[in-house]
A = this chain, B = another copy of it.
Amino acid sequence: MKKLLLFLTLFPAVVFGQNHEENIRKIYDAELSSGHTYENLRYLTKRIGNRLAGSSGAAAAVEWTRQLMENYGFDTVYLQPVMVPHWDRGGKDVVKIVNSTKHGTLELSALALGNTEGTGPSGLVGNVIEVKSIAELRELGDKVKGKIVFFNGPMDPKKIDAFEAYGEANPQRSSGAAEASKLGAIATLVRSLSNRIDDYPHTGNQRYNPDFPKIPALAISTEDAELLSSLLSDQSDLKVYMESYGQMKTEKLSYNVIGEIRGSEIPKEIIAVGGHLDSWDVGEGAHDDGSGCMQAIEVLRLYKELGWKPKRTIRAVMWMNEENGLRGGQEYARVAKEKGEKHIAAIESDSGGFLPIGFSSTGTESQREKLKSWGDLFKPYQVWNLDRPGGGADIGPLRDQGPILIGLKPDSQKYFIYHHTEADVFEAVDQRELELGAAAMAALVYLIEQEGI
């Protein structure tokens, strides 16, 4: 007996490690051989399609994911009501150069940004003034009055993590119209937040300043942004016609969709894993964020397939309205607090169904150290970076309740090719990459439900 104890004392890590090693291998084997993630994503994208909060697509996605989890036999599946904004594009967005000495009139590939007010059928015409950033806009001051401000700041190709480049370039999209309106601009055009030069306009969220006019804000493709910039440098009196129909309608009732498997030993401790069910109203919301939702459901399905009972409660959550309001994430956290639920971890996959390379996290030193201590268990699966700070939009509101917040980090090189565009379709997702992400999340959930964090 003493010998055994000595042995256990000397090699606890090995004994501990091997068991987990085997179980994580089982997770990956099951997912890569007979996972459901990819076919579920096919259904969500091809049969339901895009699903902006408040749309019929979103309602269909709520009901379908509820049924899917019911059919998998999770212990509890329920809808959590949440009121969401309902923005409607209303019609075709048009951006047209009308007086090019070189081209005459020339239509650009455009999409109104989300939450914008349209021009209505009469459209508007104005001179265009180009800036690369909000800082440059402010330097221009009064000069933008009565004009269309063209934000043309590219994503920095030198950033290895494309999300960093996105973060830097994003203010021109999210706050450009608010800032330009303060200075009397009549509308904004914004270069699409893409790290590729192509013809897809990228929509995305923007927020008005309530004290200033809600001016139309439209994105144009990177190709057309380059073209417009080049034409402007030859012809400063270039005029652009813009037409769009966006409007914010009455709020609608929607739902977070929740499925859980109750913990067999410590059911009160909850591990949430999820993605957002809504998408923009273009493409199919495949990478953003159908992938994350189908991966989260798959985590629980793998437990059923493997016949495992988690020690702690594991919960798949499809948050609603991440794209243009974050109401689902906020409501989920509010209800959790109200009910006195104890989340020990919240894991989000909202960076695309690409090759997973790590997890980012926000938490206490001890939580983050525990996460990093599992590094060697993930390395055989090419998940190597467990040290990045981060988390996710929908899990952010849980922060003050104490769980570690964790984001699945896929490689980011290609995310912004598809993000918020017509190109974000099922075919853009690779089956193996998607499955590797689902398995990585399942392995992490497994370690946390077994060991705590």
Interface residues of chain A, those whose CB is within 8 Å of chain B, are 28-29, 32-33, 157-158, 160, 162, 195-196, 355, 357, 380-382, 384-385, 411, 413-414, 430-433, 436
Within the assembled complex, what's the spacing in Å between the Cα atoms of A230 and B37? 25
B28→A158 contact, CB < 8 A: yes
Q: How many copies does the complex hold?
A: 2
> With the chains together, A112 CA to B91 CA distance in Å?
52
* A29 proximity list for chain B (CB < 8 A): 158
User: Measured between alpha carbons, how far is A355 from B382 in the docked complex, in Å?
Assistant: 12
**A432: contacting residue among B28, B380, B414, B430, CB under 8 A:** B414
Given the complex of chains A and B, what is the CA–CA distance between A79 and B33 in angstroms? Answer: 47
A-B pairs, top 5 by smallest CB distance, nearest first, are: A413-B432, A32-B157, A384-B384, A29-B158, A32-B158
Q: Complex formed: what's the CA distance from A29 to B414 in Å?
A: 18
Complex interface: chain B residues within 8 A of A196 (CB): 431
Inter-chain contacts of A33 with B (CB < 8 A) = 157-158
Smallest CB separation, A90 vs chain B (Å): 35
Q: Which residues of B contact A411 (CB under 8 A)?
A: 355, 382, 411
A-B contact pairs, 24 of them (CB 8 A): A28-B158, A28-B160, A32-B157, A32-B158, A33-B157, A33-B158, A157-B432, A160-B381, A160-B382, A195-B432, A196-B431, A355-B355, A355-B411, A355-B413, A357-B382, A382-B385, A384-B384, A384-B385, A411-B411, A413-B430, A413-B432, A413-B433, A413-B436, A414-B433
Assembly CA distance A401 to B226 (angstroms): 52
Smallest CB gap from A197: residue in B: B431
| A357 proximity list for chain B (CB < 8 A) | 357, 382
> How far apart sit A32 and B157, CA to CA, in the bound complex (Å)?
6
Bound together, the chains give a CA A431 to CA B417 distance in angstroms of 11
CB-defined contacts of A436 to chain B, threshold 8 Å: 160, 413
Given A413-B432, A414-B432, A430-B414, answer yes or no on A380-B160 (Cβ-Cβ < 8 Å): yes
C-alpha spacing A195/B32, complex, angstroms: 11
Output the least CB separation between A409 and chain B (Å). Answer: 10
Other 12 A-B pairs with CB < 8 A, given A160-B381, A196-B431: A28-B158, A32-B157, A32-B158, A33-B157, A33-B158, A162-B432, A355-B413, A357-B382, A382-B385, A382-B411, A413-B430, A413-B433
- Specify which of A158, A195, A381, A433 lies most central, judged by the most chain B CB atoms within 10 Å of its CB: A158
Bound-complex Cα distance A412 to B4 (A): 43
- In the bound complex, what is the Cα–Cα distance between A309 and B29 (angstroms)? 49
In the bound complex, CA of A160 to CA of B381 (Å): 6
- Name the CB-closest residue of B to A413: B432
Q: Cβ of A381: which chain B residues have Cβ within 8 Å of it?
A: 160
Distance between Cα atoms of A162 and B32 in the complex (Å): 12
Which residues of chain B come closer than 8 Å to A385, judged between CB atoms? 382, 384
Note all chain B residues with C-beta closer than 8 A to A414.
Answer: 430, 432-433
Residue of B nearest to A431 (CB): B196
**CA separation between A33 and B32, bound complex, in Å?**
37
Q: Which residue of B lies closest to A381 (CB)?
A: B160
With the chains together, A196 CA to B430 CA distance in Å? Answer: 10
In whole angstroms, how far apart are the Cα atoms of A223 and B413 in the complex? 30
Q: A33 → chain B, closest Cβ, in Å?
A: 6
C-alpha spacing A384/B387, complex, angstroms: 13
Shortest A383–chain B CB gap in Å is 10
Minimum CB–CB distance from A388 to chain B (whole Å) comes to 11
- Chain B: which residue is nearest A159 at the CB level? B32
How long is the Cα–Cα vector from A28 to B355 in the complex, in angstroms?
21
Q: List chain B residues, Cβ under 8 A from A32.
A: 157-158
Q: Please indicate the chain B residues that have their CB under 8 angstroms from the CB of A433 in the complex.
A: 413-414
B contact residues around A432 at 8 Å (CB):
157, 162, 195, 413-414
A402 to chain B, nearest CB (A): 31
Kindly report which residue of chain B lies nearest to residue A387, judged by CB atoms: B379
Please name the residue on chain B nearest to A29 by beta carbon: B158
In the bound complex, residues from chain B placing their C-beta under 8 Å from that of A384 are: 384-385
Q: Report Cα–Cα, A309/B83, bound state, in Å.
A: 64
- Interchain CA distance A45-B388 in the complex, whole Å: 38
